Amino acid sequence: SRADNQAAASLIGKLFSARILNFITDEKTDLIAYGLEEPVYEITLLSREETTQTLLIGNTLPNNPDVRYAKRIETDSVFTVPAEWIKELDIDANLLRSRRLIHWAPEQITGIELTSGERQIELTCTSNQWQIVRPVRWDVDSVRVTELLKLLTEASVTEFLNNPSAEQLAQIKTPAWNITLRANGKTSTLHISEAKTNDLCLVQYDESLSLGTTAASITRNVSVDPLFYRSRNVLELNPAMIQTITLQRTGQPEQSVQKSEIDSFFAGKPDRQVDPETLTGIMWELIDLTAVRDVDFNPATLQPYGLDQPQASLTVTLSNTNAIGRVILIGSKTDDGRFATIQGMDVVFVVSEKTAQTLTRELTVPIEKQPEQIKEP
């Protein structure tokens, strides 16, 4: 099992804190008398250079229970050490074990794979940018990924189960969740069971023979739905690339504006002119169109969202191409805005009512006729 770094450092500190009380003999002697033939304790240290030192601890002195005999295995010398020092080393092994489920820091993790039943999602970080790479390839909401990494790296074992029961082993053999993390070229997997009545679930780190329990909240805010992690930025257009904007609203005539050779926009009809305030508002939205929330991915039908016959569509063509750049469809109202989608994206999302109003406002207005001057006779 992985050790707790602080606990291990504390143990090493205790090992090096002791001093020899008295030297008993430097001659080769019968170790049975000192209880060193079959020592009570044996402490072995391995250095980075792969050399070892072993200390044997034997019986207490006949007239002094506060002192124990000891010797290094490499020499014949017998000496005494404080018995109290030895007691500090007599600790439960579980106190040395790391209770952290994940021993990597969030910034070290470069890959996450979440599996629940038949559903699976994979996220990868490249050049400090996270992306969903399976089942679809999307940019992610960095806040959601940060929360996920914080949740996993701060999770801890509440109890170690060194001898799990057959029932517990069966539960972890078909876990509710498998969470695989990648960092520093290595991978580790958490196998997590369904939550129990005590609000705990079983967890296994890789293929460890022992199990543990952890708070059920570790999976409460975890999802295998790619929409949960998808970036809320649904569109980012450079205004300089926009060539035409066409607005079509149900029951209303089509309105269109087009960029001239001098980079100013003009209306598509001779009796109308561009509304500059509306055009500016639309441009600002197209620079960074953000969804309030995502609703559905690759839906069988758009009818529940009023997008099969949208209330409005905004078509944007880009320069240097004859193809349509983007078509934004605006559908029915919902509690927090309007359903919307971008043609060809296969994602239904919600935009705020303010954004919907901006995108569907009158693009052009009638040209006001100048009053005729009446000439005096």
Q: Is 205:188 a contact under the CB 8 Å cutoff?
A: yes
Q: What is the pTM of this model?
A: 0.75
Cross-strand bridge partners of residue 112: 123, 181
Q: pLDDT, tens digit, for every residue of 213-239?
A: 999 988 887 899 999 999 999 998 888
Q: Is 218:152 a contact under the CB 8 Å cutoff?
A: yes
The two tokens of residue 105 are 């820091």
Residue 162 neighbours by CB distance under 10 Å: 12
Nearest to 52 by CA among 44, 41, 42, 62: 44
Which pLDDT value is given to residue 371?
53
Could you say which DSSP state residue 100 is in?
A: B
The two tokens of residue 294 are 């995502």
Nearest to 162 by CA among 1, 333, 344: 1
Low pLDDT (below 50) residues in the chain: none
The two tokens of residue 10 are 């504390």
Classified as helix, coil or strand, 354 is: helix
Could you say which DSSP state residue 3 is in?
A: B
Q: What does the alpha-carbon distance between residue 153 and residue 306 come to, in Å, rounded to a whole number?
A: 42
User: Residue 331 half-sphere exposure, CB side, CA atoms within 13 Å?
Assistant: 21
Q: pLDDT, tens digit, for every residue of 247-261?
A: 999 989 999 999 888
Which pLDDT value is given to residue 324?
62
Q: Is 160:176 a contact under the CB 8 Å cutoff?
A: no
